[in-house]
Amino acid sequence: MRTVLAALAICFALAACDADEGSEASASPTRYVFLDAQGVDTVDTSGQTFRHALIVEMSRWIAGLTATIDSGAFAPGPGDVAAGLDFWFAFDDAIGASTPFDLGITDPVRQQSHADLASGKRLVDKLAGNDPEGQHADWSTAFQGWDDPVVQGPEDLVRHWFAELDALAAARAQGEVALDPQGQPIEVVYVSPTGLDYRELLQKFLLGAVAFSQGADDYLDDDLPGKGLLADNTTVAEAGATALAHGWDEGFGYFGASRDFGDYTDDELAGAGGRPERAGARFDFDEDGALDLTSEVVWGHALNAAKRDRGSVVATDFTGDAWAGFLAGRALIHGAGGTLSDEELATLRAHRDQAVGAWEQAIAATVVHYINEVLVDLAEPATPHAARAKHWSELKGFALSFQFNPRSPLNDEEFGRLHALIGQAPVLPGGDTAAYADRLREARQLVGTAYGFDAANLGDDAGRGGW
């Protein structure tokens, strides 16, 4: 991460020199902060932060279901859990605006309730296939990765998983606890007998089908006039920024980095040590006594990028590359002071490619990581059923994301092959685990080749020694 800061300092110095003399705006080389002539920050990522928060809250609600059902505090009937999940998925301000956030953050937070952060922001509206503009594919026909007659697109898949979890929860409330293949009760309600962990599937898929899709295929795309990188940069609009600047900020917000992301070490971002004040990948850098969810907390894929960097055998810098691309691109937009020249637009595309490329590489490295976890599980029959389900479901959820980037290194044919190899459920003890392990090793090599990963980071045949 730190290796990019010197280059960024040069970039910002050049941007400052090129800026309009009438604008006093400047930016720190280590923080994503861009001021207007009055010294007011022009960056607004409240909508993206709101959706990140909804994904976290949904995941936490699912995690707590087992205890609330088993204690008798919640006795869901058919449809009740699906409705509970829809509270987060199709968030209704009229019902939820005043409710406090449940993010697991114990430090003081500036935005106490949902209304304090934003309004009118729903996951379902920004899910791939539901946003009416900017999609590179018709997801009602082009969606791949889950072969089921009830699933024609991303929203169908989300609601299919809602229904499956709903059925498990309603049965458990009636004393019908699901059993694993060995006939043992499954510890948690959100894991199916076939080895699907609906908590992990939903969280990881939503990060791809909402956050990555919106970032790569909408705000940072350049396929439509007046959209993405081709948006207007002459008229100040939202939050004191031009449409181009604000759209770039929205892409940055979906990546999940804080404004001081470059000040973190990978250990701190991964929750593996570092400075105590930066524990949990959050830090009150403006020292006002409360965390600002939009600027002082790291979310989503930005966290996974650090985990893969610190787990690399041959060094990678997904965090640094993404940060450098996002920061340099925004500096270019800010310094242009109007319509971009052809040369500036070409440079902005290069910054986009760096940022989105590193973002997707981090997702791909995480797919490799979970292939390796599943390979280890296959060789160890004593692995608990819930652990098998967790590892496989993280693999599947992350791997569904690649299709949402129109410039993905993984083409449609390779994507289809990848999911044919992964399948729709793990092979459990008693099945042909050796054949499945061979399929996963082929899937791992497919990903490694597409993304140019060093062989040492892929791991050995047993799933050890790499990510």
pLDDT tens-digit series, residues 245-260: 999 999 999 999 999 9
- pLDDT, mean of residues 419-429: 98
**pLDDT recorded at residue 30:** 78
Confidence class for position 240, pLDDT limits 50, 70, 90: confident
Q: Is the pLDDT of residue 8 over 70?
A: no
CB atoms within 10 A of CB 242: 23
> Which structure tokens are listed for 200?
């992990």
Residue 388 belongs to what H/E stretch? helix 385-399
- pLDDT, mean of residues 49-64: 99
- pLDDT, mean of residues 396-421: 98
Q: Is the pLDDT of residue 348 over 60?
A: yes
Distance CA 137, CA 129 (A): 8
Closest CA to 367 of 387, 390, 394: 394
Q: What are phi and psi of 466, to 5 degrees?
A: -120, -145
Confidence class for position 3, pLDDT limits 50, 70, 90: very low
Confidence class for position 337, pLDDT limits 50, 70, 90: confident
Phi-psi category of residue 188: left, alpha or beta, with phi > 0 → left and psi -120 to 50 → alpha: beta
Distance CA 369, CA 403 (A): 19
Closest CA to 424 of 172, 151, 212: 151
Q: Is the pLDDT of residue 237 over 80?
A: yes
**pLDDT recorded at residue 29:** 53
Look over the chain and give the mean of its residue pLDDT values, rounded to a whole number.
94
Q: What is the pLDDT of residues 212-224, one digit of tens each?
A: 999 999 999 999 9
**pLDDT recorded at residue 356:** 99
**pLDDT recorded at residue 19:** 39
- pLDDT, mean of residues 383-411: 98
Q: Is the pLDDT of residue 423 over 90?
A: yes
Query: Taking a C-beta distance cutoff of 8 angstroms, is the pair 360, 410 a contact?
Result: no
- pLDDT, mean of residues 359-383: 98
How many residues make up the chain in this entry? 467
Distance CA 330, CA 352 (A): 10
Q: Is the pLDDT of residue 20 over 80?
A: no
Q: Is the pLDDT of residue 39 over 80?
A: yes
- pLDDT, mean of residues 154-168: 99
Q: Is the pLDDT of residue 27 over 60?
A: no
> Which structure tokens are listed for 262?
């470059």
> Which structure tokens are listed for 349?
């595309």
- The DSSP code for 194 is T
From 22-36, 120-134, 362-376, the region with the lowest mean pLDDT: 22-36
Confidence class for position 1, pLDDT limits 50, 70, 90: low
- pLDDT, mean of residues 276-304: 97
**pLDDT recorded at residue 238:** 67
- pLDDT, mean of residues 440-444: 99
From 25-39, 320-334, 355-369, 453-467, the region with the lowest mean pLDDT: 25-39
> Which structure tokens are listed for 282?
């959050």
Confidence class for position 4, pLDDT limits 50, 70, 90: very low
Alpha helices in 215-317 (DSSP H): 243-255, 266-269, 300-310
**pLDDT recorded at residue 90:** 99
**pLDDT recorded at residue 16:** 39
- pLDDT, mean of residues 384-413: 98
**pLDDT recorded at residue 239:** 73
Q: Is the pLDDT of residue 9 over 70?
A: no
**pLDDT recorded at residue 23:** 37
